[in-house]
Amino acid sequence: MDEKQEILQPSMEMTAGEMLRNARTTGRRKREIATIAKLLCIREEFLTALEEGNYRVIPENVYILGFARSYAVELGLNPDEVIAKLKRELGIVPEETESEPEKVIEKPKRQIKINKETLVKWFKSAGQYVKKHWIWFASGFGIVVVAVVLALVFGGKKAEVIETVEAPTEVVVTTVTEPDFRYPVREKFDVKNSKESRVVLQAEKESWVRIDDAKGNSVFSRVLLPGDVYYMPLGDNFKATFGNVGGIDVWVDGQRINKLGAPNTRKSGISMAPSALKGAGIAE
């Protein structure tokens, strides 16, 4: 059995950490954690924590999953399999429950049948009623005639008609164009916002990104790998936190602006309003 098969076929009974450690230490080409940590720009203690299953060393689940995915890819493992096993170990996989759809019982529609005999009876009844109360109908008709005559006599003056013309509402149309990304796109997130998004992010280096709304609720949180693209929702009240602010390209209305901070620097509370971002200046 060659090295590749030995690494790519771990036991299904292994934990996610054991799968990572097995892939790193088996085969003819064994590797040291220090070498991989330097290559992936991830601390050695985080990679050791992943192999040992000591996830409390890593601050948030999003970092745990992001580091594990990068580590699995580097070791030649299936990242989706490792992440699925890791989510089960962390207890963040919701159990799917299937519920039977409620049966909708349609009530039979009431059909009203109108035949010739019914119409004849109705007209006869109406004629008898009018014949019996003809005085009322005659009085009503006379009142209407008198009202029309009085209106013609005393309403001879032409009434001034004032036409109200509403001013046309100015419609501002913003044309959103896809940015000319500097790096090949790996994966896109929140594509539903792409047609109206004025602010678009692309990861140059691996970086954790979190977007909060005006109430402080998180609308997006994950580790973006190089080439990943995120389309911001439309609005001026969103704020961002970047784990590596210098590793993110920011595009506003199709133009790339200057970096919002130095590489490998964590920065939070950044306003993502287009007007505020344009203050950073257009990148050369």
pLDDT tens digits, 232-273? 999 999 999 998 989 899 999 999 999 999 998 989 899 999
Strands across the sheet containing 218-224: 218-224, 207-212, 239-242, 267-271
Q: Which two tokens stand for residue 207?
A: 């970086």
Identify the pLDDT of residue 4: 45
| Domain termination site, one of 32, 60, 90 | 90
How far is C-alpha 193 from the geometric centre of its chain's CA atoms? 7
Asked if 264 and 246 touch (Cβ cutoff 8 Å), the reply is yes
Range of lowest pLDDT (7-16, 166-175, 184-193): 166-175
Residue 161: what pLDDT? 42
Burial 222-239 (b: 16+ CB within 10 A, else e): ebbbebbbbbbbeeeebb
What's the mean pLDDT when you consider all of the chain? 81
Contacts of 224 (CB under 8 A, 6+ apart): 189, 201, 203, 206, 207, 208, 209, 230, 248
- Is 95 domain-assigned? no
- What CATH number did the domain enclosing 43 receive? 1.10.260.40
Residue 20 vs residue 98, higher pLDDT: 20
Question: Among 73, 90, 107, where does a domain finish?
Answer: 90
Question: pLDDT band at 177, cuts 50/70/90?
Answer: confident
CB 24 within 8 A of CB 31: yes
Q: 20 or 169, which is more confident?
A: 20
Of 70, 90, 110, which residue sits at a domain end? 90
Query: What confidence score (pLDDT) does residue 237 get?
Result: 92
36 inside domain: yes
DSSP code of residue 2: -
Q: What is the pLDDT of residues 16-35, one digit of tens each?
A: 989 999 989 987 778 899 99
DSSP 41: T
Mean pLDDT, rounded, for 84-94: 83
Predicted local confidence at residue 175, as pLDDT: 56
Quote the pLDDT of residue 135: 82
pLDDT reported for residue 66 = 94
Asked, for residue 125, whether it belongs to a domain, the answer is: no
Return the pLDDT at 33: 92
Residue 221 sits in which domain range? 188-280
Quick one: 127 exposed, middle or buried, by C-beta within 10 A (0-12, 13-18, 19+)? Answer: exposed
pLDDT of residue 178: 87
Give per-residue pLDDT as tens, 104-140.
556 555 555 566 777 777 777 887 876 777 787 777 7
Any domain includes 150: no
Q: Could you tell me what percent of the chain has a pLDDT over 70?
A: 79
User: Is 105 among the domain residues?
Assistant: no
pLDDT attached to residue 166 = 55
Q: Flag whether pLDDT at 44 surpasses 70.
A: yes
Query: Does residue 117 belong to any structural domain of this protein?
Result: no
